[in-house]
Each structure stands twice: as structure tokens, then as C-alpha cells.
Amino acid sequence: MDKNLTNLLKWGIEHSTVSNPSADPSAPSPPPSQPAPRSDLNPEILSALMGGPSDADLMKAAMEVLHDPTTTLENKLIAFDNFEQLIESLDNANNLSNLSLWTPLLALLSHSEPEIRKYAAWCVGTAVQNNIKSQERLLAMGGLPRLVKMILAEDEQEGVRRKAVYALSSAVRNYQPALDVCHEELVKGGHHEAEQKVGDATDMDGVDRVMEGLKERVKRTSNKA
């Protein structure tokens, strides 16, 4: 970064004007000088000028950390926590698609480490909560069957399954296509309590009944390890 700081300093000097405290304030202003030649600014310098990396840059960097096999679990969870906070913003959540981050995020639902699977489900739930664009994207990416499978997997840890319920709940509320797929997948997976279909995704009481039933199933059948 020393080289970047040096270049940034040079750029600042080239684009600054020097005042003369002894000049007569009543004297006419000299004609404007020709602009100084522009220095080439690499992305690091531009980032420094603009106040640091953008949210999009931070989201991509976090995902790279999460998929880096050399990164410790502790650091991955820190990256996930930062990622989750970023996508609390509706604009950032909707930008997941533009940044091609849905595929790597959903891939983490199948990670070998339970804490990673739990955080992945948590982030999915955050991204789609009250967000029709992200709900549509999750459905198009095949995320609903993955969440249902996690919830119904009795060999999965309880904390992971509960976060998957949260994500599923956020994904189906006020979005009928997702609720329809959720119903189909639950019945296919043998969750007989879902056989009485909730026909309206805006029926919050009806959706709540489905989710409370899933929470009870998770509590009753989970691997406590």
C-alpha cells in the first residue's frame, strides 16, 4: 500500500492549488492555469479517494473468504456475520444476483461444517425477507427444495434446521409461487401436517401455522449434537 499512498499523494499535489498569503486581494486574478496532467489511478487509489471499498466489493470479498479452504472457521464466521449485515440492506440483497453471489451462497447450505450451513440459511432468510425480487431469485435458483430438505433432515443439527425454517418462512410470505413450491416439497418429504395447503401467501396466520409445525418437528426430531 506504500506505493499506492505515494501515488495518491502525487495525485493530490497535481490537482491542488497553492494560495499566496502575501498577494494583494484587490489585484485581478491571474488567468486559470492549464490542468495538470492526469496521473493513472489504479483501483486501490480510487478506493482510497472514495472512502474505501464499496458494499459490493465487501460482499464479494466475504464470499471469497467463505469459499477459501485455507481460511479458519472463526474467520469464515466473521466474514459471514459481515455479509449478513450488508445484505440487511434491500439494495445489497437485490445486488446478490448482479454479483453472481446466489450460487455460491446456496452452495454453502451443503457445507460439511454445521456452523457454515446455519449461517448460510440465516443469510438466505435475511436476503429474502420482505423482498419480492430476492424471493423470486431464490425460487428461480432452486433454493426452496434445499431449505425444505434441511428442515426435514433428522440427522441435521437443531440450530441449522431452525435457521432453515426462518429462511423458508421469509421466502414464502406474501409470495404465492414460493409458498406453492414449499407445500409441494413438504408433502413430498413426508411432512403430513402440510397436506392441508395454505392457499394464500398473504394469510400470515396460515403461514405461521405451517412454520410453527415445522419448528415443533425440528424440536422433536433433531440431532442435538
The pTM assigned to this predicted structure is: 0.76
10 Å CB burial of residue 6 (0-12, 13-18, 19+) is exposed
pLDDT tens readout for residues 180-192: 999 999 999 988 7
What is the residue whose three cell numbers read 419480492?
132
pLDDT tens readout for residues 81-127: 999 999 999 999 999 999 999 999 999 999 999 999 999 999 999 99
pLDDT tens readout for residues 178-222: 999 999 999 999 887 766 788 899 999 999 999 999 999 999 987
Of 156, 169, 177, the C-alpha closest to 213 is: 169
> Distances from the Cα of 105 to the Cαs of 60, 122, 147, 195, in angstroms?
11, 11, 13, 30
Backbone angles phi, psi at 223, to 5 degrees: -75, 120
Mark out the alpha helices in 50-191 (DSSP H runs): 55-66, 73-86, 90-98, 102-107, 114-128, 132-140, 143-152, 158-172, 176-188
The DSSP call for residue 161 is: H
Bridge partners of 223, per DSSP, are 157
Q: What confidence score (pLDDT) does residue 53 get?
A: 86
Q: What does the mean pLDDT of the chain come to?
A: 84
C-alpha dihedral over 173, 174, 180, 181, to 10 degrees? -60
